[in-house]
Structure 1
């Protein structure tokens, strides 16, 4: 009997995952090769006049935006990014596990892949039932689209950019995330609540993911990672975010998180893996000092006063 397409796709994902985990156990450099990454960084930014820029004189935002755009040669659709690359390679931690970006909860990659396949089937069945039982409306279809959450989070919410490609499938801002945390964050802007400190061991964590209130969200985990991914998005797609969502974007907060929580081995692995898949890189991982040299179009950042 011929295997279903679902089974073939599932088997491809699981085989890719198992091979990657085997390679990681065999040699840690297969997870992240620091020497190769240094070579890649120099070669990548040389095309834009770097990496030894004259930071004060170069129109750096435009230069880097053009570089990220031109080198983003493999523009993968969302389902392929999520199902094949994210869970099976890009978002793996050094121990071979996945972790929900906002809660830090460890997840088994094979279980996540199977859970998402189940959700896809559920979503398709409910969609068929909906269009057959009543007259579909745009509002109804939109509500249906957002209601079922996968194990993946767009750090820049899809509603901010109309869920369009290539933004939707860009791995640089796509992370493993428990559906309950995905729902808790919704499409809220990041914030820093003064009465909430997730770094304290006795801090009561609301719903295991962080705090959501007044259409703002502060995660328990992943602040630096989220900040760098979001700043990448604004650099790569400076005109993609709708005007209605731009006003509450807190660039100084993202910079604060970026500086307080430096990139880890996990993030460096992600950056190298995505570079090999998509062709472009996240400059905020490669050059942490970059945040002091750029002015994002949606926010005029005041330079710090010299001591």
Structure 2
């Protein structure tokens, strides 16, 4: 069986004065999306993508995925010029992964085969061609299935010779260069990534890396909206059970995506170009104009449609948010980190954190450092899943030790405390009459409304998926009712409405809402319009 391929762009060849045939882009360093420049035939039975590992020469190789056992549908070819009487030594390097597909060198006809049983290492096939006439010929590869072929197999191709090493460099990027730095763990074969445009077309992707290596990839991107997705086939991310892997995608000094701890996949939408968030409307009602006149769950859905397209900046970027949004300009007014788990609104704080300097880190006791608290615990929505994992409207700077005590327990009102923080926040058994029996965490009265409005935001922003979160953990089940309308169990809803009523919106919340809006591009409606709570869920 042989294999063909679909058409690319221009073919080509560079001919020296001596008549030396040159394979264009034989080292597969130039790509237009998933099409290697210079290769004029890529049949539909194979798909190609650039990879930075494994490589034989230079920085990139071609990953060829053979998707058919139909002969004549797997060619990867280009046209070169040869001159009568000249001798041309053609060679190509191949890297087989499973051993159920072999490659055949094409040089004006079909020549030698690769050894498919020689897997996970580079091998070379070659053919010396003597031109009997001056003409254009096709050179490249055709792929053949072998016993055991299951319908899809990867072969890496690199260093197709002879290549014109004097070929001018690819045009300079006139747009934005985004650089991905990927550090693999001990199971690099599980890791892959892609970068897609707003229409979902994959422009760049990578995989097939070596274990515990640092890999970089530069991508030239025009202004627009993109999504970077990191994948781990096993489901344990890059860190930290099998090594300290990580990834950072950056452009113009700004981190667009970063991390290492995820499960099967993590997506990071971002925008290049004019990303400046528009100033808030002079009348905030303009922002909510499409929700005007609505009540009940129709109002909630209208608000969802307004706020559901925020820009996910990634969890690492939350450090940048909290050093702006979570500073004390309201109580001591000293610019220290305002931690709602240790702040003393009516007296001097016993704990003071300096932004950045006191980021966690390790902590063994209260006051050691501050970290990023998911007030709506991440285990409830499935772990480190975007955009929930980096949504600034429910993530606050908090004392790392107290945050660990809170863990993923529900907020509630404590009857018998087992732990009390320095500012009086408590962990313990729920008080009788709450409507819930179990361990709960109770923040100060001065901040209960802040947390309630964060929860109403989560119920609205994630209306499209929150109904499925109830079964993720026991505590999620205790709080969520499995619907995308009411969202909360009766005891929780009643308590949140009471907290919202008794602790009205403060200037701190108003300022923070604006800071998060400037950070990610959406607002918390229940801070701008506290009356929306009653209009949706009743008073």
TM-score in terms of structure 2 length: 0.38
- Aligned pairs, number: 222
Separation in structure 2 between the aligned mates of residue 98 and residue 168 of structure 1, nearest angstrom: 21
Provide, for residues 118-174 of structure 1, a one-character-per-residue CA deviation record: whole Å limited to 9, x for no partner.
Answer: 62xx79xxxxxxxxxxxxxxxxxxxxxxxx995221110111112211111111111
Question: What pairs up with 1:32-47 in 2 under 5 angstroms?
Answer: 39=282, 41-46=284-289
Does 2:450 match 1:225? yes
Larger CA deviation: 98-107 vs 173-182: 98-107
Aligned 8 A contact 2:411 2:441 in 1: yes
1:79 positional shift: 0.7
Aligned 8 A contact 2:470 2:477 in 1: no
Separation in structure 2 between the aligned mates of residue 234 and residue 247 of structure 1, nearest angstrom: 14
2:313 is aligned to: 76
Separation in structure 1 between the aligned mates of residue 352 and residue 286 of structure 2, nearest angstrom: 35
Aligned 8 A contact 1:152 1:174 in 2: yes
Q: Which structure has the highest helix share of the two?
A: 1
Separation in structure 1 between the aligned mates of residue 450 and residue 291 of structure 2, nearest angstrom: 27
1:225 positional shift: 0.7
1:263 positional shift: 1.1
User: Residues 282 and 173 of structure 1: is their aligned pair in 2 closer, same or farther, counting only changes over 3 Å?
Assistant: same
Query: What SS does the aligned partner of 2:523 have?
Result: coil
Does 2:346 match 1:103? no
Does 2:379 match 1:159? yes
2:407 is aligned to: 186
Alignment match of 2:327 (pick from 85, 89, 92): 92
Aligned 8 A contact 1:210 1:219 in 2: yes
Structure number with larger C-alpha Rg: 2
User: Residues 242 and 40 of structure 1: is their aligned pair in 2 closer, same or farther, counting only changes over 3 Å?
Assistant: farther
Separation in structure 2 between the aligned mates of residue 195 and residue 247 of structure 1, nearest angstrom: 23
Provide, for residues 192-221 of structure 1, a one-character-per-residue CA deviation record: whole Å limited to 9, x for no partner.
Answer: 13568xxxxxxx982325221243111135
Q: Which structure has the highest strand share of the two?
A: 2
Separation in structure 1 between the aligned mates of residue 327 and residue 389 of structure 2, nearest angstrom: 20
User: Residues 156 and 166 of structure 1: is their aligned pair in 2 closer, same or farther, counting only changes over 3 Å?
Assistant: same
TM-score in terms of structure 1 length: 0.64
Question: What pairs up with 1:44-55 in 2 under 5 angstroms?
Answer: 44-46=287-289, 48-50=290-292, 53-55=293-295
2:477 is aligned to: 247
Structure of greater relative contact order (alpha carbons < 8 Å, 6+ residues apart): 1
Separation in structure 1 between the aligned mates of residue 535 and residue 409 of structure 2, nearest angstrom: 27
User: For structure 2, which runs of at least 5 residues remain unmatched after alignment?
Assistant: 1-252, 255-278, 429-437, 480-491
Aligned 8 A contact 1:112 1:151 in 2: no
Query: What SS does the aligned partner of 2:414 have?
Result: coil
The Cα RMSD (Å) is: 3.1
Separation in structure 2 between the aligned mates of residue 84 and residue 172 of structure 1, nearest angstrom: 14
Query: What SS does the aligned partner of 1:189 have?
Result: coil
Separation in structure 2 between the aligned mates of residue 185 and residue 112 of structure 1, nearest angstrom: 22
